[in-house]
Structures are given as C-alpha cells and as structure tokens.
C-alpha cells in the first residue's frame, strides 16, 4: 500500500492541514494519509502545545471521520518525547513492511530538513511529498526522493485560531472544520467552568 505519513502538532488541526493532505492524496495517488500528532516537536519547548495530546487526537479524529482516505495514529504519543520523524517512519515500516512510505511536509519544513535528526536515514525510508505554496521556490536535495505538489497559499493560522477561540472572536469562514470547532469550544468551556463545590 502507498501510505503517506503526516506528522505535526495539529494544535488544533485546521483546514490548511486537510487541504495539504488532500492534495497529496489526489496528486500522488497514495492510498491513505496517516495523521500523526506529535508528542512534542524537537524544535519546541516542553508543554508548548495549547491543547493536550488527547485533545489534539480527538479533534483529528473528528476532522477525518468522513474522509475514507485518511486515518489518525497515536503512534508518536506512545514514544518518549521529543518527536523524531525517522523513528516514526522506522516504526511504521516495521509494523507495515509491505507499505511504500511517503512523508508529507510543507515547503518550510523541506527547507529545514537538514536540521532534522537523522534526516539522511529518514530519506532512505520515505519519499517526501512537499506541498509548495503559491510561488514558493524549489530547493533540490541531491539523492533525496521528493515529489513536489503545487498548491495555493493557505492563510490559515493556528496561532490566530487559538487566539480567537480564547477571546470568543468568530473565526474566518472555513478555517476550522465544524466538528473540530465544536470540540475545541467545548474543551475551552469545560476548562473555564467553575468547579462544583460539592464534587
């Protein structure tokens, strides 16, 4: 099976993430895209996500529930942080030896690939699918298998989504899938509700 792994914080998952995944599915012909929420990015401080791992996992599942080509795996959440892409790809390959592996990323991550732990080893395990936004330039890497998928600019901002949710400010239309927005709003409402004095 042609399987595409898509790791990230997904804090929360939004329309931009889904658009990138759909573009990879349609343009490259992978048979499934697996969303892998990160326990903690090696480039971020501990406790840096706004939503907890379980909350991000629940929102991802709500987002892809009706997408037959997408699934969510909690594999990375079972590893000791920080999240390491090579470790995920290796573990997936061991669990699914017949899969042909792809790794989905944006152009910004592609430009920083040399900073990733064991990036040369990761490149042996996967073919990268790089989503190019607008006129974003290509950065070739010798000996690395990569497929470039050209897409539109995606103005969705996870930071602004979190800010708007906290301030109860309406989000731009389409930024969050409705099931995700409902779940995020419920999580925040539950967190701000006063404790029951009798509990």
CATH number at residue 145: 3.40.50.620
117-161 pLDDT, tens digit per residue, is: 999 999 999 999 999 887 777 777 888 999 999 888 878 999 999
Query: 101-123 burial, b for 16+ CB within 10 Å, e for fewer?
Result: bbbbbbbebbeebeebeeeeebb
Range of the domain at 133: 2-154
pTM for this entry: 0.91
Whether 196 is covered by a domain: the verdict is no
Residues with Cβ within 8 Å of 110's Cβ and at least 6 positions away in sequence, in order, are 128, 130, 139, 146
Say yes or no to pLDDT of 170 above 90.
yes
Say what the pLDDT of residue 199 is. Answer: 38
Whether 26 is covered by a domain: the verdict is yes
Say yes or no to pLDDT of 172 above 90.
yes
């Amino acid at each position: 099976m042609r399987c595409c792994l898509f790791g990230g914080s997904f804090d929360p998952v939004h329309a931009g993430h889904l658009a990138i995944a759909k573009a990879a599915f349609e343009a490259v012909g992978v048979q499934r895209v697996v969303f892998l929420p990160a326990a903690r990015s090696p480039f971020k401080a501990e406790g840096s996500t706004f939503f907890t791992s379980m909350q991000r996992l629940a929102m991802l599942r709500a987002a892809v529930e009706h997408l037959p080509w997408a699934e969510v795996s909690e594999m990375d959440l079972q590893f000791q942080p920080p999240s390491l892409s090579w470790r995920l790809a290796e573990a997936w390959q061991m669990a699914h030896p017949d899969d042909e592996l792809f790794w989905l990323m944006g152009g910004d991550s592609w430009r920083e690939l040399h900073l990733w732990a064991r990036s040369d080893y990761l490149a042996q395990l996967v073919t990268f699918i790089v989503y190019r936004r607008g006129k974003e330039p290509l950065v070739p890497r010798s000996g690395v298998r990569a497929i470039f998928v050209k897409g539109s600019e995606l103005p969705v901002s996870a930071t602004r989504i979190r800010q708007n949710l906290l301030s109860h400010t309406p989000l731009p239309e389409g930024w969050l899938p409705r099931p995700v927005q409902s779940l995020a709003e419920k999580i925040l409402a539950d967190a701000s509700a006063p404790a029951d004095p009798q509990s």
